[in-house]
């Protein structure tokens, strides 16, 4: 059986970062840089997930529009439409959702509980690892020296 989103979460080496919707963009960028990630989930003061903020949001909605990052709140520029994936979904289903909705990051949820956050890079790494585990034994078999 193929890998699941849960497997990707366990393999992921990316730290999970949470931002507040009232954070200033400059502060959010500093936090992203500190842990070397490109996106983070955004929560309101009640603790509800309200969006995702990414370097792409910054580039398109702050920098290109010449907005001051030290005066712009994350809530003003974050992606508000949040798609989620359940941990038991296959990585192929996860990738299909990312492709269909044109998103690169998904919170992983079970019921109302947020278990983690995965990126398209996490999914790609997992797919490559899974495929290489299939290809390497076949490659070894095919390139084997036969006694005839």
| Run of H or E including 43 | strand 39-43
**Kind of pairing between the strands at 18-20 and 39-43:** parallel
Three-class DSSP category at 50: strand
Tokens of 75: 């809530």
Whole-number Å distance between alpha carbons of 88 and 86? 6
What are φ and ψ of residue 98, in 5° steps? Answer: -60, -45
pLDDT of res. 129:
81
* pTM of the full structure: 0.84
pLDDT of res. 147:
65
Residue among 37, 38, 44 at smallest CA distance from 20: 44
pLDDT of res. 16:
85
Q: Which residues of the chain have pLDDT under 50?
A: none
Distances (CA, A) of 51 to 57, 68, 80, 84, 105: 11, 20, 4, 11, 11
Distance spanning both ends of the chain, measured CA to CA: 36
Contacts of 145 (CB under 8 A, 6+ apart): none
| Ordered structural domains, the chain, with CATH | 5-138 (3.10.580.10)
| Run of H or E including 109 | strand 105-110
pLDDT of res. 142:
59
pLDDT of res. 65:
96
């Amino acid at each position: 059986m193929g890998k699941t989103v849960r497997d990707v979460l366990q393999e992921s080496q990316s730290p999970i970062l949470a931002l507040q919707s009232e954070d200033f963009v400059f502060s959010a960028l500093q936090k992203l840089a500190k842990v070397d990630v490109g996106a983070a989930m955004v929560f309101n003061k009640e603790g509800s997930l309200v969006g995702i903020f990414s370097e792409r949001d910054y580039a398109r909605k702050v920098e290109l529009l010449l907005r001051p990052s030290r005066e712009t709140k994350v809530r003003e520029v974050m992606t508000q439409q949040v798609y989620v994936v359940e941990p038991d979904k296959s990585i192929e289903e996860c990738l299909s959702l990312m492709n269909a909705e044109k998103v690169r990051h998904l919170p992983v949820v079970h019921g109302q509980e947020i278990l983690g956050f995965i990126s398209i890079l996490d999914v790609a790494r997992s797919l490559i690892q899974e495929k290489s585990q299939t290809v390497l034994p076949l490659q070894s078999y095919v390139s084997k020296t036969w006694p005839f």
